[in-house]
Amino acid sequence: MISTSSVYVYGQTADEIVNKYLETVDPGKKLGKLEAVKMEMTAKSQGMEIPVTMFNAKNGEMLLKLNFQGKEITQMAFDGKDMWSTNFMTMKPEKADAETTENMKQNVDFPDGFLNYKAKGYKVEYLGKETKDGTETFKIKLTKKPIKVEGKPQENFSFYYFDTDSYLPIVTESEIHSGPMKGQKSVSKMSDYQEVDGIYFPFSMQMMGQEIKVNKVTLNPTIDKNMFAFPAP
C-alpha cells in the first residue's frame, strides 16, 4: 500500500516535470496568448510526398487538409459544433457521429494539453523513468475528461515520454477507441524541436509509422472561420 507521503511526492514530481517542460517550450509564456496556429507539412506515404496543412484555433476549431493528386481533401475538421471529414470513396463531406463529436468537445487542448491542465480538469502522474529509442525519459500519464465509447464512459489518458535532459516529449502513446484499429496503440514520435517566435515546436514527427516533416509554423495567422464549418449543400 502506498503511503500518503509517497503520493504527495509522486504528484509533486509530475507537476515539476510538466512545469519544466512548459518553461522549456514556452520560456516567454506566449502559449496562453495564442489565437491560432498554422502548420504546413509534408507527409511521406508509400513513396509519395503529400502536402498537409493543419489549422488549430483557441476555441477548439481545427482543420487538417491534404493535397492528394491535385485534389484538396479535408481529412478532419471541427468548428466547435460539428466534426466532419471528406469521404475518400465519394469525395463528399460527412459529419462524424454524435458520440465522436461530443468527445471532441469535451477535450479541447489548444494550444497544449498540459497548459493549465488542472483548470481543465486533467490530471498528471509520474510513472518513473523509461528508456525510449535509446533515450532516458520521464514517463507521465495525462488523464483528460472521460469520453464515451458505444455509450459507456471510459477513462481517457495518454502517456508522454519526456527526455530527462531537455524535458521535451519524444514519444506519446494512447489507445485507439473507435474505428477499424480500435483497441490498438497509437504511437507518435517527435524530434527536431525548433523555435518559432519564442515557442518551440517539433519539426519532425512519426505518427502511426508515417513520417511527417514540418516545413513552416505560423502563429496567429489570419483565419476565415468559415473554413472549419461543414460545407453548405
* pLDDT exceeds cutoff 50 at 11: no
CB atoms within 10 A of CB 132: 15
What letters, b where the CB count within 10 A reaches 16 and e where it falls short, cover 179-196?
eeeeeeeeebbbeebeee
Pairing mode of beta strands 210-219, 36-45: antiparallel
Number of domains in the chain: 1
Q: How far is Cα 222 from Cα 54, in angstroms, rounded to an integer?
A: 13
Structural domain includes residue 233: no
Tell me whether residue 62 is exposed, middle or buried, using C-beta atoms within 10 angstroms of its C-beta: 0 to 12, 13 to 18, 19 or more.
buried
**pLDDT value for 85:** 94
What average pLDDT does this structure show over 136-147? 94
Which grid cell is 91?
469525395
Rounded to whole angstroms, the Cα distance separating 172 from 203 reads 15
Q: Is residue 141 part of a domain?
A: yes
Residue 220's closest CA among 33, 22, 25, 24? Answer: 33
Q: Is residue 10 part of a domain?
A: yes
CATH number at residue 113: 2.50.20.10
Rounded Cα distance, 156 and 55, in Å: 24
| Residue 185: per-residue pLDDT | 85
Looking at the domain assignment, is residue 101 inside a domain? yes
Tell me which DSSP letter residue 178 carries: S
Mean pLDDT of 49-74: 91
Is residue 2 scored above 80 in pLDDT? no
Mean pLDDT score across all residues of the chain: 89
Residues of the chain above pLDDT 90, percent? 68
The domain in which residue 88 lies consists of 4-228
In a domain? residue 39: yes
Predicted confidence (pLDDT) at residue 1 exceeds the cutoff of 80 = no
Domain assignment present for 42: yes
Residue 4 confidence class, pLDDT cut points 50, 70, 90: very low
